[in-house]
Structure 1
């Protein structure tokens, strides 16, 4: 990871940036505490819509990289955002905020699970949280669709790759690792081909002049 100086670290689309590594710690702690069933949708709302630390296009780009790296994608995302603003100090603050509170809560719940699991209300509450998490992820996906217009591959190729991923997971139930490797490499190949075509057109245009 790079270690940018806080004085020259990038700002969000509205000129917003975290004031300190501690601000990153607080922000990601709040994200983790809201992320029942998944933090991704909450992260998009907090980091893009509420705090303005990232644009939607930047969020999609960073999340795409986080998705391709080993380990939990939201943890990878927190590391990259922390490093973006305060180098290793920001990365450490962000990942500590992401993991500390959930770790303590999971330990406490695991210790009392045998007693709590006997109550039907607890099981119903957990199923309800799962439904809400699915709805949040769908809502985030619809909000992110607008960023595909400026994507190098264009909206139709992006939509085709997304649909192929959905079919591979929901219909064929393929392992996620193989989907990421297969469709990820296909997307990379298409983007590389697109860059080559655009470079060739630009070079041809220069020659015509």
Structure 2
């Protein structure tokens, strides 16, 4: 699969590609959205980091982390933040349109078809298989995003990661409360680590 075979930029040593133009932004995000069965994050990371080399793995993780703290779907936030980073407001609009335009058209057609034929047993089995593949892709990209954090071997960052995972994933605490505690702790820890490194 291209997700595994593509060269990686975990350390950021490879030469960065030139910034994308508006047309390139639209096409790239449209391809991500059309490939993103079960979630676009997998394909967004592959395209931005591995294929086009527009960001390093760490830059992508930092940008995606920012998008978690903004209201709205994370991947939509990523398209707006990424587009505006390279091409300003027009870039944000174009990346957003590329991400949402094609799926909206396809889902509208599929909704009409599903309303008519959704009770067919074969269709239900196909959808169950697609959902399993989507979970596998999501786990693969989570692991790839975790690698730069593990390579730095910063115990504070790993402790914060583990704490948030346990709080939300295991203890089922409300995400807003966990983020309200984790964000200031993360910012403070990052500030102290940079001061110590300087």
TM-score between both structures, scaled by the size of structure 1: 0.79
Q: Distance in 2 between matches of 1:150 and 1:143?
A: 11
Q: Which residue of 2 aligns with 1:163?
A: 162
Match of 1:16 in 2: 17
Question: 2 CA distance for matches of 1:111 and 1:175?
Answer: 35
Who is 1:36 aligned against? Answer: 37
User: In the superposition, relative to structure 1, how do residues 164 and 129 fare at CA in structure 2: closer, same or farther (>3 Å)?
Assistant: farther
Partners of 1:114 and 1:15 in 2: CA distance: 46
Give the 3 Å change call, closer, same or farther, for CA 174–53 of structure 1 in structure 2. same
Q: Work out the CA distance in 2 between the residues paired with 1:142 and 1:115.
A: 39
Superposition deviation, residue 103 in structure 1: 1.1
Contact kept in structure 2, 1:13 and 1:53, CA below 8 Å: no
Give the match's secondary structure for 1:52. Answer: coil
Structure 1 residue runs of 5 or longer lacking an equivalent are 1-11, 203-209
Structure 1 residues 182 and 126: CA distance shift in structure 2, 3 A: farther
Q: Residues 180, 126 of structure 1: CA spacing in aligned structure 2 closer, same or farther, 3 A cutoff?
A: farther
Runs of 4+ in 1 over 4 A off after TM superposition: none
Structure 2 length normalisation: TM-score?
Answer: 0.83
Q: CA deviation at 1:61?
A: 1.0
Q: How does 1:116-195 map to 2 (within 5 A)?
A: 116-148=117-149, 154-195=153-194
Task: Give the length in aligned residue pairs.
Answer: 186
Q: Output aligned runs, 1:36-115, within 5 Å.
A: 36-115=37-116
**CA–CA distance in 2 between the matches of 1:185 and 1:122?**
46
- Which ranges in structure 2 are unaligned for 5 or more consecutive residues? 1-12
Cα displacement (A) at 1:108: 1.4
